Structure 1
Amino acid sequence: MKPILVAENISKKYTKKADQHLNYGVRDFFAELLGRSGNLEMREDEFLAVENASFCLYPGDTLALIGRNGCGKTTTLRMLNGTLKPDSGSIQINGRVQALISLGTGFDQKLPGLENIYNAAAVLGLNSRETRSIVDEVVDFSELEDFIDSPVGTYSSGMTARLGFSVAVHLNPEILLIDEILGVGDHMLQNKCAAKMQQMKKDGVTMILVPHSEGKIIQLCEQSLWMHKGKTMKIGNSADVVASYLSFLDKLAVSKLPQDNASIDQEKPIETSKGLLYGAIFDDTDNVEDLNVDFVVNGSKCQAFPTHSTVTIEYDFLSKTTTNNLTVTLVFYKKEDGFHYGKISTSNGTLLKHIRSGRVHCKVTIDDFNINPGTYVMVMVICEGHSFLYRNVVQEFVVENDGNLKWGIMDFSYHYEVLTNTPA
């Protein structure tokens, strides 16, 4: 089978000085005219946003680009889409490309949504009859029937994302490039888009995605490319690549904690949690054993409670290692997709700094547990300085509805007052 997309050692350099960007661009343009293209000689104030990235995709393949902000993911997508030219390397594309990279890109903000659909189709060479045949599907999928004749400039970010995605997937692309802008949409939109992409994948569409959560990577992409500061750190099976990436993030987070006089260094390898949704795990009985964790609401142990409950989390464990800088962090994730909701940590103080070894028994009380209804997991992270002693899922719990309508990820406590009521 012939590859549909091949990127070989593609690199892109930028200058750190905004006022030199145009100047360097003109110089490089004329250098290319003189046959000196592909020169990666770096000027003093330049850096590589992407360095020697390579991958080969076949029809139906899906590739996730992952990494921290600024690692080169979007620059890579822009090179594949043709809006940026690589400074070295080559890109070979054998199919029709549709891209959804920047919110609203390609839309005329002054024109209605309907006219923007026709314009997008015309750019791809569709005639009026072909365009009319897909308009209803585009509008129906976007759920913008009531606003399709309004200027796109009046749309919210979520509405713009819905229209952009709907246009991109209904223009019959053979290669689909999508940045993490779908993160602006609500949970229902994200699930709808994920289902559509799964169907396109079955239909043989090649996709390169920048997902907004690790859970989406596992759901949508067999392959992943992890980038860090422009360099390819690892490429291959998504499970393996995401595992390495999450382990890197956890080590990085621990390294930023105050070390003081930590007594041990990390030696044993870090594994990954089931489903790769909740980060790296380190379950070492040489360091920590006999761990107990309870949720207490209204004086009773429980694993289900309503939003806004006062929740006490009580835990104890035996520390078998001599410690000088012990910290415990509780991290909360949505069970189904690994969305990280927040954390509570003793690193914001000196609560456990005096503990050297033996049994540790603590409790923390959350006065207003305002996470919206759903099923969640709690990961406990026990560290000595920069090193893991323990990191694993210790509790699964359910937040129940309190009878009110809920939106978003948190349910704020609030009180409304009507200050004026002037008759019309």
Structure 2
Amino acid sequence: MTSQLLPTRRAFPADDPIFALNAEAMARRAGGGSVLNATVGALLDDAGRLVVLDSVMALWRELTESEVAPYAPIAGDPAFLKALVQRHWPLLEGPGAACATPGGSGALALSLRNFLEPGQRVLTTAPHWGPYATLASENGVGVRTAPWPAAGVPLDAEAWRTALTELARTQGRILVWLNDPCHNPTGRSLSREDRTALGDLLREAAAAVPVTLLLDFAYLDYARDPGAVAEALKDYAALGGEGQVLVGAAMSLSKSLTLYGARGGALAFPWCGDPALQAALTQSCRGTWSNCARAPQALVVRLAREGKAQARLAAEHRHWSDILAMRADALDGALAAEGLAPLRWEGGFFVLASVSNPEAVCARLKTEGVFTVPLPEGLRVGLCGMRADEASRFAAALRKASTL
């Protein structure tokens, strides 16, 4: 009986589409089918087991009752917020206006509540992580997109200028969600020239209306070239330090520390100390989830104090980044052997295979036991869950499904 449920809340799918595809793949495998599951959004080893970073688990087991059981402050432990921001910008003295959130998703949701009015739109990339649209809808806002550059192609500055100009004119404020470096789902990052061009466009827009740039840092610990990530962080710090564009970060412990179930994260604006912004973030926390879990915050504080643990964590990140690079290179080689274009992974857990009619191709792939996630721009392929020796099977199935 659902008469009490609002009519506008009655037409949702029974499960998140990505989780539903993963469940379908798992059920087929449990039934004895031969399955290549590229829908997974968590890092798996070559035996299909969830990767859990040993350095993190060692710290987790050391947590005391007082680091786990009590309520955390509503906005989060200040030491946690400082430590998390300093993982990315170690020279900063503090986190600025910041609050703890349940994962990166919580940070994204809070940004909508505080920087957009109902009915307005957040600007992000096409393609983007599908739940961006869900987060927007649940907060009463829409999504406007501008194109993510194809491999080897510069940022389409005119398309971004058009989007920014339109939002400035129609809603008088702009919030941009940018999943860079290590973009989901393409696996590529903006070049320095791209970031310079985008920064110029954001400054141009900020001369007329308030502009907030929120960086989604879900995957940047898993990059082919850590030096490129460091360069990107330096560029974004320079933009934030100017003060014209409000620059913040949505940070998550899910992938970076393989603490998916701990739901730890933060929303921080490191170059803004405005008490009004801090008060607004704290109020949003209180009115949404009240307090976040203390244990993951305590773990990050411990990590910040222990140099040996940090070195072990960095080595583990490098190891698994190398595994992801090996899988990506194997996939590009297999695609080339089938006459298909390489995907050119630079970081993160995914790549995007561009195909016509992704839904149809996805359905055809399932008949071959290959599961992917269809997006409007192509198929999201989870390198995080694929073995390198599965690349040939995937490439052959993709060629067949794309040419029917």
Bigger relative contact order, structure 1 or 2 (CA pairs below 8 A, ≥6 apart) = 2
TM-score > 0.5 by shorter chain = no
- TM-score w.r.t. length of structure 2: 0.31
Mark the structure with the bigger radius of gyration: 1
Higher share in strand: 1
Higher share in helix: 2
